[in-house]
Amino acid sequence: MSLPAMLAACADGSIPVPICTLEAPAYWYVYPPALSPVWSDGSGPTYIGYWKHWFVEREPCFVEMFVDGGCMAREIARTPAQLFAVIAMRTISLDDGVTPALEQFASAVGLDCLAELEALSLEAGDDLAAFAAAEVFKTSTPLESMPSSALPYTGDFPDASNPAPGWWQRSCSFETALQEMPAPPGVELPGWFDRQQNKQALFEGFLASGRLDCAWLTLNSTGWSIADARRAIVQLQAQAHDEAFDLWVAAWLAAASDGFY
């Protein structure tokens, strides 16, 4: 996935996270295959992790996902450095300053802006909307940190303030649940946004027509039992013939045990 080794070290717990409620390796509380968790938090439960849509022309990003909120996801970072900065800001806010544990974490992940983040935290706490003032967030600013008067958002997460790119063609229901995302006049939303639609039948129809992108987005929308989703992703894998996707599938199957999303 062309991600830095330090991110994998965070995910397997080799680099300790300075927030005591975050767990690595992440526990299984239920999450769709688009998410590769870095940390979980059982008090939500929530996940923080890497969000990637296979077979869809989308920039991967990092999200926070709220399991009890119907697996709603929001984009909190677009680069690993931004993700580490989010963790730093939350730690500073929780502990009222930079702690030795945070200093060790920052050193391990190559984050060299703790002084700037601490100064910003004194003004804004860990409010994601204020993060754009930090240097690490000024380029490729994530959606949750876009100030209202800034330049247009340049990422690919569906944006309620800018429906022009046709968000409904390249996104799933978990990405739009936190926002009011009505379809533009004359546009019918794809079936994977319909909670009443039989997702398994819809998925199989897309797979039969060779629409791997639509099949994937259907698989990553609400309305699946984990048992059915496990079978579906194996069907998709057989048709994809992609070694990198094979590894992604293996990782999700190794975690996904039961439940619904």
pLDDT for residue 79 is more than 80 = yes
pLDDT band per the 50, 70, 90 thresholds, residue 181: confident
How far is residue 20's CA from residue 126's CA, in Å, rounded to a whole number?
A: 16
pLDDT band per the 50, 70, 90 thresholds, residue 36: very high
Residues ≥6 apart with Cβ < 8 Å to 140:
78, 79, 82, 154, 155
Degrees to nearest 5, angle at CA 39 with 35 and 42 = 105
How far is residue 179's CA from residue 158's CA, in Å, rounded to a whole number?
A: 9
Lowest model confidence (mean pLDDT) among 8-12, 53-57, 177-181: 177-181
- Over residues 117-145, the pLDDT tens digits come to 999 998 888 899 889 999 999 999 999 99
The answer to whether the beta carbons of residues 110 and 6 sit under 8 Å apart is yes
What are the residue ranges of helices labelled H in 125-223?
A: 173-176, 199-208, 212-219
> What's the whole-model pTM score?
0.95
pLDDT band per the 50, 70, 90 thresholds, residue 150: low
How far is residue 221's CA from residue 15's CA, in Å, rounded to a whole number?
A: 32
Mean pLDDT, the chain, as a whole number? 94
Residues ≥6 apart with Cβ < 8 Å to 258:
226, 227
Q: Choose among 15, 239, 58: nearest CA to 249.
A: 239
The answer to whether the beta carbons of residues 222 and 202 sit under 8 Å apart is no
